[in-house]
Structure 1
Amino acid sequence: MTKAIGSGRINSIDILRGIVMVIMALDHVREFFNIDALTKDPLDIENGTAVMFFTRWITHYCAPTFVFLSGISAGLSASKKSLKEGSAFMIRRGVWLIFAEITIITFALTYNPFYHFIIFQVIWVIGWGLVLLGLVRLLSQKAVLFIGLIIVLGHNLLDYVHLPEGSAKQAVINIFFQSRGFTIPFSDERLLVFLYAIIPWAGIMMIGYGIYPWFLNYSQAQRKKMLMVAGLSSIFLFLAIRFVNLYGDPLPWLPQKTGFQTFLSFLNTTKYPPSLLYTAMTIGPALLALAFLEKSTNRLANLCMVYGKVPFFYYVLHFYTIHTLSVALFFISGYGSKDIISADSPFWFRPPTFGYSLPLTYLIWLAIVAGLYVPCIRFAAYKRAHSDKWWVHYL
């Protein structure tokens, strides 16, 4: 088993997590700095460009891989504790992440001190996933894997369920299963925005947890074979079901004007909530990546590992860095105090008319990721030096 020297961590997990977190930052930088981010759909096949499509599409791999790896890591961490101690820690950390999403992450996104918009996304569902995982793992590891597979394979049956608009049942189904930008007024001036549905993402985490024994009980050669078989099976499942075009995604692919546009339609699966096909399309390559990153020791792998070792720290810091830089460029670009709040944007200091071309957006992305390298190294060293502190394990 390939582990980071002296840390007990598994390199392939940290490397892959670092890769997807670097790519993740591209999407968030695009949302804050690209001139078209708030006015055009990057996945618009008919009117958009291939470069913009793949700039957004490649980031589809980030959230499911991140959640999936969180499940594996939760299993590896809990394996060092008793059953009850491991479950209790998962639940406590899950509650903390839910709180962090509502407070720390929402403010990083909006810079609105009055919290007129409270946004529930990936940290929210990871938190809920850990809470649910802490409960269902009391059954058995195999039971968790089975439940996760049932959720991922079957939750698209709800695509055919239509409940009365505005009903309490619809609200519950949306929050737990089908969030697609579902909103609930919290008061006359405040809005709860649910972007990530709890149960489908928890299913992905449970599958990750279900395979954590592969990293403990099998040789490197055996694990590589198992990961490859699972990864290729997931990709084949995506291709087969997507081709049939009857189930697994509420957005069927359609013939377009050109063959290339039809290909883009085929790839354009649904993230909100993560459909079966979206999950199979993204987790399959993630499994293959884990198989082939076992022995990676090159410079690029080590660089990505730096970010992957401190995921929560990186996630929080990259949002504050992105938004703070956008504030500076907002004023440099000639905008003033009257432009801070826009009716067309939930983010302060981010009017729809602000932004730059896509090439310049890519340069900003690379600069931000590079700027976070040293802080991540130092925080990882701090965590190692203070590993005896209880609160360090929640960061």
Structure 2
Amino acid sequence: MKHNRQQSIDFLRGLVMVIMAIDHIRDLMLTSEITQDPTDLSSTTPILFFTRWITHFCAPTFVFLSGISAYLSSRKHHNWIATKRFLITRGLWLIVLEFTIIGFGIWFDLKFRSFLFQVIGSIGMSMILLAFVFKLSPKVLGILSLVLIFGHNALGLVPTFENPVLKFLWALLISPNLFPIGNDQMVMIMYPVLPWFGIMLAGFVIGRLYELEATARKKNLTTLFVFSFISFVVIRAINIYGDPQPWAVQKNLFFTILSFVNTTKYAPSLLFTLMTLSFALGILRLTDGISNAVSRFFSVYGKVPLFYYLIHWYLIHSLTLVMVFMQGFTWESLEFGVFKFGRPATGSGLSLGGVYLVWIGVVLSLYPLCLWYGKYKALHPEKQWLRYL
């Protein structure tokens, strides 16, 4: 029963990890990525919009499942001190990874001119915060989660800070921003902690459902899915609160629907969170207790998410350089620097169809490695360091 309950968690985590890869391949390889915003309805195409939009579900789902996993882990060991220590050390480790191994994998810049605080760093900070509140009652944690998720957008009314320290703290906790370091380095905070912490808390609270009998758990997951989805539709339709980017009537009905679902990720708005978590809850409900070839395939990635995440950046970026050289460019043509991936300014890249082919190749090529590492972790529970990778 335990295996069947958690199979859906591994499946969903693996699914979003696989989807995530296409966004990163698009970032690094798509010909028009340097000049075109995929969600700009005045210039995008439906397939390009969808390629970007579908990946919106990855980060919130991954953070949400991190909360569920943190709860299940705490219940498995029944050692509050050890759980607190693990959350803090794991969180610090993720932050270190964000600015070192992951950062280099993203930019391939030996001078480290770009420091990007994104999903892994935000998860790390959220785990550290969770370490200090996880013993509170489920009711208190649930209320705190709802306040952070539903109240975050109201903070947009707060005037901009001029004090550099307050400005940095506001960006770290509430709203994204850029901060130059000297003349040739930059810090970008893309994933401010508090709204993502709210999502992790939601997962931690909902993790209790996985201690229930299957029928009760499915009923609760259905109720949560219906609540989040209807809340998204109603609040979005009212078009007053919940997202800094209101939807608007477009040139036809299809593009109007695209506008309706085009919610804000940086920082995750209330409507972005409701839209994406309703998807996560729905998939968890539909796959609860199911084990088949499809679920087992995606679970291979879902059981080793950080391992997959680290390796996929290095593979994708290496393939990007191979692409550039095969297209006739030389090392001197490559542009490295603040938020530059190394691609020449113009002339390189693949079509969207090419991006999809590379995506399929990357995902399939990582499967045997993830399968091996997942089995290695399972066979060596005594090696505590494996919990950190």
TM-score bracket, shorter-length normalisation: over 0.9
Asked if residue 212 in structure 1 is aligned to residue 217 in structure 2, the reply is no
- 1:102 and 1:250 map into 2 onto residues whose CA distance is 29
Q: Is the Cα contact below 8 Å between 2:64 and 2:200 reproduced in 1?
A: yes
- Of the three residues 46, 50, 63, the one matched with 1:54 is 50
The aligned residue for residue 352 of structure 2 is: 358
- 2:337 and 2:38 map into 1 onto residues whose CA distance is 21
Q: Is the Cα contact below 8 Å between 1:91 and 1:131 reproduced in 2?
A: yes
Q: Which range moves more in the overlay, 372-381 or 385-394?
A: 385-394
The aligned residue for residue 26 of structure 1 is: 22
- Of the three residues 97, 105, 117, the one matched with 1:100 is 97
SS across alignment from 2:32: coil
Asked if residue 72 in structure 1 is aligned to residue 72 in structure 2, the reply is no
Q: Is the Cα contact below 8 Å between 1:17 and 1:65 reproduced in 2?
A: yes
The aligned residue for residue 265 of structure 1 is: 259
SS across alignment from 2:3: coil
SS across alignment from 1:359: helix
Asked if residue 348 in structure 1 is aligned to residue 342 in structure 2, the reply is yes
The aligned residue for residue 381 of structure 2 is: 387
The aligned residue for residue 59 of structure 2 is: 63
- 1:324 and 1:351 map into 2 onto residues whose CA distance is 18
- 2:8 and 2:370 map into 1 onto residues whose CA distance is 18
Structure that is richer in helix per residue: 2
The aligned residue for residue 231 of structure 1 is: 225
The aligned residue for residue 83 of structure 2 is: 86
Q: Is the Cα contact below 8 Å between 2:107 and 2:339 reproduced in 1?
A: no
Shift of 1:2: 5.1
The aligned residue for residue 203 of structure 1 is: 198
Structure 1 residue runs of 5 or longer lacking an equivalent are none
Asked if residue 321 in structure 1 is aligned to residue 315 in structure 2, the reply is yes
Q: Is the Cα contact below 8 Å between 1:326 and 1:350 reproduced in 2?
A: no
Q: TM-score, normalised by structure 1?
A: 0.95
User: Kindly tell me: are residues 129 and 174 of structure 1, through their superposed partners in 2, closer, same or farther at Cα, counting changes over 3 Å?
Assistant: same
Shift of 1:168: 3.3
SS across alignment from 1:3: helix
Shift of 1:120: 0.9
One-letter amino acid of the counterpart of residue 204, structure 1:
I
Tell me how large the CA RMSD over aligned residues is.
1.5
User: Kindly tell me: are residues 68 and 299 of structure 1, through their superposed partners in 2, closer, same or farther at Cα, counting changes over 3 Å?
Assistant: same
Shift of 1:28: 0.6
Between the aligned residues of both structures, percent identity stands at 41
Shift of 1:72: 0.2
Shift of 1:221: 0.9
User: Kindly tell me: are residues 344 and 193 of structure 1, through their superposed partners in 2, closer, same or farther at Cα, counting changes over 3 Å?
Assistant: closer
Q: Which range moves more in the overlay, 254-263 or 223-232?
A: 254-263
Moved over 3 A (4+): 164-168, 342-345, 349-353
For 1:163-174, list aligned pairs within 5 A.
163-165=160-162, 167-174=164-171
For 1:116-155, list aligned pairs within 5 A.
116-155=113-152
SS across alignment from 2:188: strand
The aligned residue for residue 278 of structure 2 is: 284
Q: TM-score, normalised by structure 2?
A: 0.96
SS across alignment from 1:185: strand
SS across alignment from 1:221: helix
Shift of 1:352: 4.7
Q: Is the Cα contact below 8 Å between 1:71 and 1:205 reproduced in 2?
A: yes
- 1:118 and 1:164 map into 2 onto residues whose CA distance is 22
Q: Is the Cα contact below 8 Å between 1:79 and 1:86 reproduced in 2?
A: no
Q: Is the Cα contact below 8 Å between 1:13 and 1:290 reproduced in 2?
A: yes
Asked if residue 36 in structure 1 is aligned to residue 32 in structure 2, the reply is yes
Structure 2 residue runs of 5 or longer lacking an equivalent are none
One-letter amino acid of the counterpart of residue 139, structure 1:
L
Shift of 1:232: 1.1
- 2:25 and 2:6 map into 1 onto residues whose CA distance is 29
User: Kindly tell me: are residues 242 and 130 of structure 1, through their superposed partners in 2, closer, same or farther at Cα, counting changes over 3 Å?
Assistant: same
| Length, aligned pairs only | 388
Q: Which range moves more in the overlay, 91-100 or 297-306?
A: 297-306
One-letter amino acid of the counterpart of residue 94, structure 1:
G
- 2:205 and 2:345 map into 1 onto residues whose CA distance is 44
The aligned residue for residue 175 of structure 1 is: 172
The aligned residue for residue 3 of structure 2 is: 3
Asked if residue 160 in structure 1 is aligned to residue 157 in structure 2, the reply is yes
Shift of 1:170: 2.8
